[in-house]
Chain A
Amino acid sequence: MNRETASQMGVNKTGIGLSPIDSRAMLEAARATHTLPDGHHYDEWRVRWAREAASTIIGSVPPPSTIKGMMKSAADAITGKRPSVLVDQLGARLAFERTGARLYEAVLAKVDSTMMGGAIRSTLERFHEQELRHFQIVRSALQALGADETAQTPAADIAGVESAGLLQVASDPRTSALHCLDALLTAELKDWESWSMLTALADSLGRSEILPDFRLALSEEEVHLDTVRKWVRGQVETAAKRSAGD
């Protein structure tokens, strides 16, 4: 058994099962707790705070950075479209693909440190390069809109908060290849969903010039998701069988 293939049994101290006497004493102490009469509960406060912050935003989408972009933006406004929504979502994709490329690099390093490799490695490399292509597709779409692709949009910022844990998993030298592939699966689930939404959004806004590239990215993301999902399932099943035989 090793770290890469099995969930090892050991001296885990987090549950109450290992401390029957102490946990009984704790339960008795907890039962003796007197709480104050019902006041406002956390849930009610949450609603109140969210209402109080209703006029505050995480941040804004920057205005177009080129004359062409400003004119396009003005023309869209006349037809009732809000280009800032597309720019915000493209900004999120750009950030996610960029971080995704770094996530792939961390997973590749993990795979290189194990006996895994071979077919998985070459596939990971291909996917990594495709993530870079997707990044470039989004960047080129943002440039065509006259948007500043170096800006962090609100959706990009939030995407960064959402995916912070995935990088922590992949960059931790103590995690297994399976842990990292599982993090990658979470990323690919989100990636596929976002490309799917973005393609539909571009379609509904009549952005036919960017649709072929977006559809290409979506089809590649489908392959990424399908492949990583199979890897994770395969790894878990193989590890479970090996563990049973130990």
Chain B
Amino acid sequence: MALDLSKEKGIPLDRQTFNWQQLVNLPISKLDADAFTRARIILMNGLETEAMRFSHGLARMNGALRLSLAQVRRIEKQQQTLVNWLLPADQSILETTIAYEQVAVEVTASLAMREPDPYIKRMLNFALLEDFDHVYRYAALMDRLEGRDANNILQSYTDIRPGRPTADQHRDPADDIRNSFNRKDAAGITKLNVMTIVAAENQTMDFYANVGPLYADPLARRLYAEIDSIEQQHVTHYESLLDPNETALGMWLLHEAAEIYNYAACLDEESDERVRRIWEQMLDWELGHLQVAMECFKSAEARDPFEVIPRELPERAPLESHRGYINEVLDNELNLQPAGAQLVPQAQVPANSPSMAYRSMVNGNGSPSEIAAAGYIWSPGTEITARAAGLWGTEGRA
């Protein structure tokens, strides 16, 4: 049943307590946990880091709000730890990367499926096909560098095949800016969908930027650099959908509501009982944060917070395998490229497009994503399986 945000008060801030033992729980099992439990952990880490990023930014520009922001932000910080530290250490960086891209693909699909604004839905589908390609590129790298099968992480929920080729995703900033929705008439779910995807993409960009240099292999480093650059484009693409006329306090409300939107969905979907209890606690805490943000909003702007956020919380489509939806988008929207704020078939992109020049420049000395996946076709158990059988027969005898 949909939550009524005017009635749900959650847990007040002063009762949101923790110690280090409560914050740093035993992680989930990489092998036994469902891929979507891992995906929810990654997604909610993204929402929490976005909440902190926004709060720090606002505090730097608004003296009056500093204490309230700091009080809520302290809890957001601990929530981020509690959630993200559920990831296990035996999950390698590349495996975590595959999981991040699975999040990007499946979360985008779940948002797009219920998105009522056709322009926003088109923009979600557009970047979905790019993240879909990243799964394929990273899977090829992990197979060829480490001899590991990306499907151990994806668990057969998400396909490993090309989307819009990563090499073709590089664009001039002028082709990354979209038209924003109008805050006064956009549906509540539209606002929350955009807030969610901005958070997911921003954390992916930050993750790649930090872990890329941890690899020794030059191709791995370059592939992370290349895809990290695309993730920045995606953050630009998605954040430009937000109405720039929204007030700072309105944005705070939207951040809190987006966390509630997603924690409520996590709670509905979660199959792991221990993790489910965490989602329940986090949802209650976020409802408490929304109370603080609403009080600040009312006192500064003297208007109803529900002019900004929906009173009745919309329900996000479940995080599950969206193979059918994704295949449909692949069939119908793969050939699109932006010309300014609109998407057009590749053939209609003007020859003098700044993105064409930019693409030629960055790919001028070879494309890491093309090198990583040259001739790559995923097969269960990695490429080595077919090669070994070809060399030695099925029994291991020449």
Contacts and interface: CB of A to CB of B under 8 A. Distances in A.
Interface in B78-113: 88-90, 92
A115 interface: no
Nearest to A175: B216
A60 B33 CA distance: 10
Q: Which interface residue of B149, B391, B392 has the most chain A CB atoms within 10 A?
A: B392
Given A58-B90, A60-B31, A134 B144 contact: no
Contacts of B152: 150-152
Interface string B142-157: 0011111101100000
Interface string A95-121: 100111110001000000000000000
Interface stretch (A76-84, A156-164, A200-208): A156-164
Interface size class of B (residues with CB under 8 A): 35 or more
A98 B382 contact: yes
Contacts of B395: 136-137, 140, 213
A152 B88 CA distance: 15
- A: interface residue count bin: 35 or more
B148 A99 contact: yes
Interface in A19-68: 52-53, 56-60
A132 B145 contact: no
Contacts of A57: 29, 32
B153 to A, nearest CB: 9
A145 interface: no
B98 to A, nearest CB: 13
Prevailing SS type, chain A contact patch: helix
A149 interface: yes
A164 B384 contact: no
Interface in B179-222: 215-218, 220
Given A58-B90, A132-B384, A168-B216, A98 B31 contact: no
B32 A102 contact: no
A172 interface: yes
Contact of A171 (B145, B387, B394): B145
Given A98-B382, A139-B388, A53 B90 contact: no
Instruction: Decide if the interface of chain B is mainly helix, strand, loop or mixed.
Output: loop
B148 A157 contact: no
Contacts of B147: 95, 98-102
A169 interface: yes
Contacts of B148: 95, 98-99, 160
A129 interface: yes
B94 to A, nearest CB: 10
Given A59-B30, A133-B396, A137-B396, A150 B149 contact: yes
B220 A132 contact: no
Interface string B367-395: 00000000000001110110111011111
Given A60-B31, A150-B380, A129 B90 contact: no
B146 A99 contact: yes
Contacts of B387: 132
A169 B145 CA distance: 12
A173 B393 contact: no
Contact of A157 (B31, B149, B220): B31
Contact of A164 (B92, B149, B217, B396): B92
A164 B393 CA distance: 29
B384 A101 contact: yes
B391 A59 contact: no
- A-B pairs with the 3 shortest C-beta distances? A59-B31, A172-B216, A171-B217
Given A98-B147, A168-B215, 6 more contacts: A58-B31, A59-B32, A133-B398, A135-B385, A150-B152, A213-B395
